[in-house]
Structure 1
Amino acid sequence: MLVSWDWLKQYVALDMDREELENRLAMSGLNHEGSEPVGNDIAIDLEVTSNRPDCLGHIGVAREIAVLYNQALTLPSPQPDTSGPDVNANFSVSITAPELCPRYTARIIRGVSIEDSPPWMQDQLRTVFLPINRDWKPINNVADITNYVLMEAGQPLHAFDLGKLAGGQIIVRAAEQGEQFAAIDHREYVLQPEMCVIADGAKSIAIAGVMGGAETEVSEQTVDVLIESADFTAMSIRATSRALNLQSPSSYRFERALDPAGVDWASQRCCELILEHCGGTLDAGVIEAGKSTWQAEPVVLRLSQIERILGIKIDTEEVRSILIALGNAESASTAESITVIPPSWRRDLTRECDLLEEIARIHGYEKIPEDVGVPMAASFRSDEDRVAEVIRSTLTATGFDEALTGSVVPLAWTDQFNPWTTATPLRTISPMLLGADALRTSLTPSLLEVRRINQSLANPAVELFETAKIYLPQAEGLPQEQKTIGLTSSGDFYHLKGVIESLLAKLKITTPLSVADAGEEFDGLLDNQQRCTLLLGDERLGFLGQVSKPGLKAFSLKTAANVAELKMDLLVSLATLIPQHQDLSAFPAISRDLNVVLQESVRWDQLQATVEQAAGEALEVLGYQETYRAPDQDGANTKRVLFNVKFRRADATMTGEEADAIRDAIVQAIAANHNGKLLGV
């Protein structure tokens, strides 16, 4: 934001050193980016944060200076002479898209003379426009006055040639799909329905809040003008500006939610200056449609919070004077608090912390000692927090994305899949979302719905996880809130099982993971050939399975998916959160490969438990290699499992005879426990 040193003098006395003022403004939140001479004036470049649109005009900056230096602020009080007929007699304004434009006003001035603007106005505009556009030139008195008021008050305006408007009306509406528009920059733009346009009775005449049209701009032949001043929705202007790659001083300001009271003030100020420098007569009244949707709310400041948050004491009267100087109206006060209503130009003041920040910056950040004692409390993370952190980091490193889904789901989901309870899910009195009125009893349906959404966005192979609560009804009282981890993967059953095993390893859970048959409660969603219950020791950890064809159809999924759910509290209770260290052996290891013939029904986790128990502490690594089936040689329903074992002693070098003895013990245990044998024996 460029401001003119001479222009600021119209509103506040600048009897301080300029560099000192620039530093003071920087310390109060308007960072000084630089200054440069323009003619006999100085252009000062200030960085204005997005929450301070009031400082996008000279009056706003002057108001800041007046508060910082406790000086009087002199502002224009426009009262243009209305000697013309009633403006509403032959012209109207209507808004058909109030979500894009809450309020629109128009005034009409007849009989203007289009000439050059006065030299003093050209000089001040040159100071603020020339440094950012070296080709800038004054346009004419009417256009320059709208720009002058823009840079004075921060409220954008637009002047239309009234003689070029059809139908005696202004319509504020949404653009039509593919609507063509020729702007005053002599470029054609293709508009979309989410964009707001200003139209007359026949055509669009401006892209609302962004740029006017070439067909209705003021020219030397203009006699009557219509002055627009409006309040456009900030998000709409921002989206339009980005979509069209078209940014203007007006759009830059409208994107930041302007002062609603500035709409009428700027309109009257513009008309006053046009009457003074362009002649003409102003029609009586204002054509207006809609109203501002913003309403100031009281904000309470507890005086005790000043020292608690800022770490310093500030006199109550100074606090009160700062708040009032900033434009706040004191509505109520006690010995413990001050209640104020923020001014319309400070829509960012909505919370107590906002007032504390205002007090700190006006009092002076430099007055807060660097070593000020601010009470601090050590942060505390529960075991559950630490486990959740490991889960998130491990799963994201594995290629999973975290999902966040709603706790309330359609009742049909809980009817179809209810793996944790047989009780009827709790219902809300009224749906939280359309069609969703049951508290979820599983994360799986929600994650499958997210898969469907990603599939529709050409991302069918998404890997997802979620850590959240499910709600299991109890016979009496409140439901059990079970923290659960849900996963869904486009990989196969064994891939997802491997992800779970990696997760357990990261949590340093030494209790062996085993599987058991899954019951009928999984029939609604999981394939009966690839599903299982997961156990840690004797405790149920959760389940794992491939979504059945009916399940895929229920969620309109076109590709295979596997799902799993795990109980968080069991992981928390078994996780080793404090790393355990031991010395590494200085002696070499010995490896042996074993190829054993087993019955098809023997699972790897069962074989793993047998090997680990037989080998004892000497076993360092047990690694699966492959499974091979040769029924003609080994018999029906058999398989060969090839695996590797690595042995190491901590106190001495293990001999070949010792390694062979451990290997033999493993083979004997496999024979005893699983009726297996070493291949070739």
Structure 2
Amino acid sequence: MRISLDWLKTLIAIDKPALEVGKLLTDAGLEVEGIDIVEAVPGGLQGMVIGEVLTCAKHPDADKLSVTTVDTGDGEPKHIVCGAANVAAGQKVVIATVGATLYPAGGEPFQIKKSKIRGAVSEGMICAEDEIGLGHDHSGIMVLDTDLPNGTPAAQFFGLASDEVFEIGLTPNRADAASHLGVARDLQALLKTPYQLPDLSSFQVANTSLPISVEIENPEACPRYAGVSISGVTVQESPKWLQQRLRAIGLSPINNVVDVTNYVLHELGQPMHAFDAAKIKGGKIIVKNANEGAKFTTLDSMERTLRAEDLTISNAEEPMVLAGVFGGLQAGVTEATQSIFLESAYFSPAGIRKTSQTHGLKTDSSFRYERGTDPEMVITALKRAALLIQEVAGGEISSEIVDVYPTPIEPRQIQISYARVHQLIGQHIGEARIKEILTDLGMGLAEETAEDLLLNIPAYKVDVTREADVVEEVLRIYGYNNITLSENLAASYLAKFPNPDPEVTTARIGDALAANGFLETITNSLTNSNYYKDAEGNTPAELVPILNYNSEDLDAMRLTLVYSGLEVLRHNINRRQRDLKIFEIGKTYRKDGEKYKENNYLALFMTGNRAAESWQQASAKASFHDLAGQVQQVLTLCRQPHFTTKPTEHPYLAGGVTYQKGDVTLGHIGLLKESVCKQVDVKEQVWYAELNWDYLLRNYKDKLVFAELSKFPEVRRDLSLVVEKSVSFDQIKQVAQRVERKLLQDVNVFDVYEGDKIEAGKKAIAISVTLQDQNQTLTDKVIDSTMSRLMQQFEHQLGAVIRK
């Protein structure tokens, strides 16, 4: 956003240099990214002054040259050789002094130097219009009609003073500052100088010969619409002052009527539109939604297909404007226009945003409307624009102001407490200073107590909706740099941090996985909906689609981390990186009826060899147990060492186990189905695990429980069990833990055999059982009794045969 300092000075008195004003604005949240010097003509006529020709005589050695003496106001007449036929003594002229750089129209810049021309000294140049870039006339030097003293800068005579323009990086929450008036409001609070709106006292209705009625069919999309007619206008080029103002902020002048609407938009922040009144069929403006599929040609001569959601400004027969976004070609102002209808309205931001995005139209009007404008500025801007049009295009106001405002928008009220303001700021700045800042920013006091304020928030403060927003307003005017930092930094006054901190826990687990050779990935939450379609091409109801996607490959929110992880594997495998271990902690998204849910998961992937090739050991493919070891380490670090397992039914896994804790599913682990990998063009075998990260974080306890080491020795006994192949080690372990809770310290499997030496459909599992008593040494009798009970229950509950 570009803001002209000269323009600002018409709204608020500023006596500070541009650099200082820029620093004030930056400190207040309007970051000034640069200050440009804008000149009305190249060079700004620097080094050129008004001078007077004192004497003029023919050059002794050149018939077409004259030798003159001129007074440039410095007390010493200058000798200048001039080739213009119309030069004469007594003339007031423009003198380019030695050292000045000229920027001639259509030519290259050059510098004036003291020289000799045919033997005569020349200490400057008497200038023609084209030689200083003011025009294209080269018939002779410019002869001025002025009483200004000699030495007066030429820029002053021509009204071509340079302007300083701020380039402001406007943040999305500062829609109220998207104009010169918006910036002036902040400067009012910063400089303690009131701003002044343009004088509208001369606005007067001359006659009512051109009435235009207004009807709003969709008041939710257009709460307020106003307009006025002006007849007898002459559409032509704008005066130079108006063109210079627009060019200074980067706009190209079009004609005097359109230029005024642009001027008011950037001055007051209220978008405007001018219609050719003769093209308003039926003498009626109707604000309504378009007919689905209707064709409409905009000012850029492009035909567009409208939607039923698009709001239009129509006449009695057809649309004329895409409301708040772009004008139509047919009703635009041209040089043939003699009467206009001037529009000023307030539109709902959501509707304008949708129309702008749908049709790919980004204009200065839509930029402001979709962020929120001021409904109370509608009439002020209308009068301002009408007066300016009368000034630059003539004409007279030929109707009363039409203002359709069925349901006035009430100002928001926000209650704040001084204590909360001081708490959020982190420093006591005083109740009087808080009230002063809020008043300077235009916030009215509805009610006041010693502890609280009830504020009326002006409509242009569209992003001030809660107490914290008010505190931000106070703080940016008070000055972030004025907040002192204590010796001991703390943030307790801002928010309570959870203990344990989820971010710290996440980082800790990530470090542990990285230490075991896993690399962390961060992938896009957007994905391809085709991944989730079944064989018949149906999309699951829980998939969250993207309505305005830019790419067909990113048209939905991901239901799982599987596909984004596989895409990372594919990218690396295609670049000959085949031994991969990666993990990601990320969100998945799903639709549950009318609600939407986000869940966090930890996903781990392994493919290729478990470790790089080495002379110390042979290469071996990654296996289920390699990944299971990592999963169990994560569960242990998350303080979840006790869990059960069962065969998984995960839709993407071709076998594996599910980790359970009571009724809660902690996660799944197994081999990804070949069909799933094939969807992402991954041909290698991929082991996959996912853990319910939300549950693990929610139930993480940052408190370790310690127990004194036993003084009495452990005892180990080994058993060999022959069981059905379907019996898992986890089942064996659960039976042991149920049988002996006090003495059993550990159950471990150290060998598994399946082969022709045992019955078909069976397997032999060798386990070790560790027993220990915390209070005494175990006796053989106690050990034998315990082992006997264990073997009995293995046989009874699992159908095991104990090999002896």
| Amino acid aligned to 2:452 | S
Structure 1 counterpart of 2:20:
20
Amino acid in structure 1 at the alignment position of 2:245? Q
**What SS class does the counterpart of residue 167 from structure 1 fall into?**
helix
* Aligned residue in 2 for 1:249: 364
Assess, with a 3 A threshold, how the Cα gap between structure 1 residues 597 and 259 changes in structure 2: closer, same or farther: same
1:102-251 to 2 correspondence within 5 Å? 102-130=223-251, 136=252, 138-251=253-366
Q: Find the residue that maps to 2:330 and give its secondary structure.
A: helix
| 1:82 aligned onto 2:201 | no
Higher relative contact order (CA 8 A, sep 6+): 1
Q: 2: distance between equivalents of 1:570 and 1:144?
A: 62
Aligned match of 2:412: 297
State which of 75, 98, 105 in structure 1 corresponds to 2:219. 98
2:401 is matched with: 286
Tell me if the contact between 2:791 and 2:802 (Cα under 8 Å) persists in the aligned partners: no
Once the two structures are superposed, residues 580-615 of structure 1 have per-residue CA deviations (whole angstroms, 9 ceiling, x without a partner) of 8999xxxxxxxx9x9975357855533345689999
Output the aligned Cα RMSD.
Answer: 5.2
Partner of 1:6: 6
Distance 2:448 2:496 in 1: 35
How far the C-alpha of 1:217 sits from its partner, in A, is 0.8
Q: Which position in structure 1 is the counterpart of 2:55? A: none
Q: Which amino acid aligns with 1:61?
A: V
Mapping for residues 441-590 of structure 1, pairs under 5 Å: 452-454=541-543, 462-463=559-560, 507-511=638-642, 513=644, 541=663, 578=704
Deviation of the 1:251 alpha carbon:
0.8
The 8 Å contact of residues 312 and 372 in structure 1, kept in 2 or not, is answered as: no
Deviation at 1:248, TM superposition (A): 0.7
1:329-408 equivalences in 2 (<5 Å): 329-371=444-486, 376-377=491-492, 379=496, 381=498
Q: CA deviation at 1:385?
A: 7.9
Paired AA for residue 189 in structure 2: V
> Could you list the runs of 5+ residues in structure 2 that have no partner in the other structure?
40-161, 514-519, 526-538, 547-554, 562-586, 590-598, 604-623, 648-654, 667-690, 710-717, 771-786
Q: Match of 1:454, as an amino acid? A: L
Q: Which residue of 2 aligns with 1:653?
A: none
Q: CA deviation at 1:504?
A: 5.5
Does 2:262 align with 1:262? no
1:640 aligns with 2:762: yes
Residues 269-327 of structure 1, C-alpha deviation per residue, up to 9 Å, x if partnerless? Answer: 11111122222221332233344663213333323334333233334333322222211
SS at 2:542 equivalent: helix
| SS in structure 1 of the partner of residue 278 of structure 2 | helix
Q: Distance in 1 between matches of 2:163 and 2:702?
A: 70
DSSP 3-state at the match of 1:113: coil
What corresponds to 1:438 in structure 2? none
Is 1:58 the counterpart of 2:188? The answer is: no
Alpha-carbon separation, structure 2, partners of 1:81 and 1:208: 28
1:224–1:579: structure 2 CA closer, same or farther, 3 Å change rule? farther
The answer for unaligned runs of 5 or more in structure 1 is 131-135, 403-449, 468-484, 517-529, 545-564, 584-591, 649-664
Alignment check: 8 A CA contact 1:158 1:227 kept: yes
SS in 1 for 2:304: strand
Q: Which string of whole-angstrom CA distances, capped at 9 and with x for unpartnered residues, describes residues 229-259 of structure 1?
A: 1111112212222222211111111111111
**Which residue of structure 2 aligns with residue 46 of structure 1?**
168
Deviation at 1:124, TM superposition (A): 0.6
**Equivalents in 2 of 1:112, 1:463: separation in Å?**
64
Give the match for residue 71 of structure 1.
Answer: 193
Letter in 1 for 2:644: L
Counterpart of 1:328 (choices 443, 463, 484) is 443
AA partner of residue 2 (structure 1): R
For residue 126 of structure 1, what is the amino acid of its counterpart? Answer: R
Could you say what secondary structure the match of 1:641 adopts? strand
Alpha-carbon distance, 1:28 to partner: 0.8
What is the distance in 2 between the residues matched to 1:503 and 1:59?
Answer: 58
Q: Deviations over 1:396-415 (max 9, x none)?
A: x999999xxxxxxxxxxxxx
Which deviates the most, 225-234 or 40-49?
Answer: 40-49
Q: CA offset at residue 63 of structure 1?
A: 2.3
Residue aligning to 2:388: 273
Change (3 A) 1:452 1:622: farther
Query: Percent of counterpart pairs with the same letter?
Result: 29
Which amino acid counterpart does residue 174 of structure 1 have in structure 2? N
8 Å Cα contact 2:499-2:702 kept in structure 1: no
Contact 1:174 1:193 in 2 (8 A): yes
Amino acid at match of 1:23: K
- Structure 1 pair 400–259 and aligned structure 2 pair: CA distance change class (3 A): closer
* Contact 2:720–2:802 (CA under 8 A) maintained in structure 1: yes
Structure 2: distance between partners of 1:16 and 1:308? 34
CA shift, 1:201, in A, is: 1.9
Supply the distance in 2 between the matched residues of 1:269 and 1:610 (Cα, whole angstroms): 87
AA at the equivalent of 2:219 = P
**SS of the residue aligned with 1:73?**
coil
Encode CA deviations 1:160-214: one digit per residue, 9 max, x unaligned. Answer: 1111222222222222333322111222222222222222122221111111011
C-alpha spacing 1:375/1:218, structure 2 compared with 1 (3 Å): same
Relative to the length of structure 1, the TM-score reads 0.65
The answer to whether the 8 Å contact 1:104/1:229 transfers is yes
2:795·2:801 contact (CA, 8 Å) conserved in 1?
no
Greater shift in the superposed pair: 601-610 or 262-271: 601-610
Higher share in helix: 1
Q: Quick one: structure 1 residues 154 and 514, their matched pair in 2 at CA, closer, same or farther if it must change by over 3 Å?
A: closer
The answer to whether the Cα contact below 8 Å between 1:234 and 1:256 also exists between their aligned partners in 2 is yes
Q: Which residue is equivalent to 2:96?
A: none
- For 2:336, what is the secondary structure of its paired residue? coil
Residues 461 and 51 of structure 1: is their aligned pair in 2 closer, same or farther, counting only changes over 3 Å?
closer
Q: 1:607 and 2:729 equivalent?
A: no
What residue in structure 2 maps to residue 413 of structure 1?
none
* Greater shift in the superposed pair: 570-579 or 293-302: 570-579
d(CA) in 2 for partners of 1:149 and 1:455? 43
Equivalent residue, structure 2, for 1:31: 31
SS at match of 1:298: strand
CA distance in 1, matches of 2:185, 2:474: 15
User: Contact 2:224–2:347 at 8 Å: present in 1 too?
Assistant: yes
Q: 2:723 maps to what in 1?
A: 598
Q: CA separation in 1, counterparts of 2:645 and 2:397?
A: 87
What letter matches 1:47 in structure 2? G
Check whether the contact 1:5–1:43 (CA below 8 A) recurs between aligned residues: yes
The farther-off stretch of 297-306 and 108-117 is 297-306
C-alpha distance in 1 between matches for 2:36 and 2:697: 64
Equivalent residues of 2:18, 2:164 under 8 A apart: no
Distance 1:624 1:169 in 2: 90
